[in-house]
Chains A and B, each alone.
Chain A
Amino acid sequence: MMVVMGILEKIIHIFIPRSSNNHKAKLLHSSSLLVIASLLVVWQGILTFLPSIGPNILGYAAQISPDEIIRFTNEKRTSAGLSALTLNTTLSSAAYTKGRDMIERDYWAHVAPDGTQPWKFFSDAGYRYRYAGENLARDFTNPTSTVNAWMDSPTHRENILNSKYKEIGIGVIEGDLAGVDTTIVVQFFGTGYSDVVTQPLAVNNIETVEKVESITTIVPSNLSPSSPEPSPSIVPIVVSSSPIPTIKAVFTQPQPTQRVLISPFTTTKSISLGVVGILLAVFLVDSLIVSKRKIARIGGRTFAHMAFLGMILSIVIILKSGQIL
């Protein structure tokens, strides 16, 4: 009985303002807030070092179909008045190889650590391109959010809505990236060397078509010397003199029952929502009790703190899983 009373006392001390906590819930004291912040840092440390203990503990469950990615991409293009891209199995093979390369060599970038450009995968697969482009995505849970994330980024959107591209290839690859089970989506765009632009394109792209005729080198818009990482881009023609090898296209479909114990992002988000929710509730109870009892105390403004937590809550809700490159 005494033990129960002791626990109850402790809980009241933490959540309810009274004389023992200087008329402010202990949870809202600066020291408690800093302790919570420290615990969150420790949790992130655990998530970071967990892969070294067990590589299959962390991961992202995903159901991403290449066909759906193509369908959503073409929906965006047709809405913008552009022609739909056609699936090219050689491009899909190249995209898959690029994805496998990232998993096997453990990198997440357009350019491999040894400087291998993405365009090499086009050539290696036997795709002789006039124009080529690449979009990358990882850790998304479905095709819609993947394509929407690309559309939200101006440079990726430019690739999707580029009238110069006629074909598309998608590679969906699952594997271990930096100790975390990941689903990578590689989206390759291209126009074959033999392709000629004959069909009328969208009105707002007339200028672009004219450039195709006159410009032989198109430099990625935000490529800078300090940043060797190219943005999604269109590149000048590279003609391969070697005969085109026959490569069997490889497609992957994520396994429906992926073994995932802890999703780092979802877990972090749930904990964040819990912490912010509890603090908001305690602040609300605290302000009501202090107001009712007419307790005068020197401290920060409760309304400001609650508004601040409300903003944090909004941001936590807004942030979604997945990265694009």
Chain B
Amino acid sequence: MATREEITNRCQDLYDDLDFTAARTWKDAEPGRHVIGYMPMYVPREIIHAAGMLPLGILGGGDQLEVIQGDAYYQSYICRIPRSTVELLLTDRIDFVDGMLFPSICDVIRNLSGMWKLLRPDVYAHYFDVPQNYMKDVGGEFYIHELNVLKEDLEKISGNKVTNEALKNSIELYNENRRLTRELYKFRADNPWLAPSSEVYLINRAGMVIPVEEHNVLITDYIEAARQEDRPKRDNSRVVISGSFCEQPPINLIKSIEMSGCYVVDDDYMLVNRWFTKPVPTDGDPIQALSYTFLEASVKMPSCFEPNEDIKGQFLVDLVRETNAEGVIFAAASFCDPALLERPILQDVLNQVDIPHVSFKYAENTGQMQPIREQAGTFADSIKLWS
């Protein structure tokens, strides 16, 4: 079995590779293979997989991509992820992608779906809507229709029929992926000194670019390897990161938070890998199962309407309690409407139960870590001294 270091080094290589060589290699390995890109927050990867395709998470260009052309498409007051994604497109780094899905996360990503249609009229680009009405006969029916549209579209691109059997098999694989991801999160929450946040992040990030079967093995191996290692335990404060679900912070920022004296015991990076809080049933109609599970067991996040004011924001309080966290760091990408508009409500909910919090903004190419380290460090100290 590979060592922890070997596993994380491989994930680091995958993270650094802005040409997506692993996905290209997968595609080239057999004729007729196809790759479907998707942006944050959630797409039903099971359907892509069941069509024999590779779902590929496109999470922007990070801090190593020089954005030149992409900046010409966006005003200064729009976040960075769409401009670096356009840069990836225009520099042919994702020219092998056979289609792109744009989930309903915000107006910027929504409009990017239209830009894609104009920039690459020959490539499938689809705005993937999810229901904001959670009644089965209303939002559920609509979503079943949307899922079927997607299934048919993917069948056309791949030339493969998505059978119920194939879809159930894919659901099982992704159920396992979500279970393992949650196990990894639990392992980190229980032993944050054994599974630094930067490593957990890289393990999860690898799942955006490699096949799910491979990723399931990788998570299992990492947990096993990390469990066996003896690493020094520090007197850090335990914190939850909130607001980083779309544009990703640079890995150095994640490391900086830990170096400043915080153990990150939960976060909302890449929610797609643990979107459902319970397994999707595999004993009935699989499309209906995906739809109803979305209605009943989706994670709480700002792009989804919360119909019940009484529990608005409660998920964050619950998360803090479940993970024995001592505070929350609101880390949102600059100009991120969902995160920044949601933040005052969440802060108010935390204030009501005396959970300390601090806020800052970042961009995926933030390079100056000192201010972040000072802010997170002061927050960690304040928890230790006064909480």
Task: Report whether chain A binds chain B.
Answer: no
Binding site for B on A (CB under 8 A): none
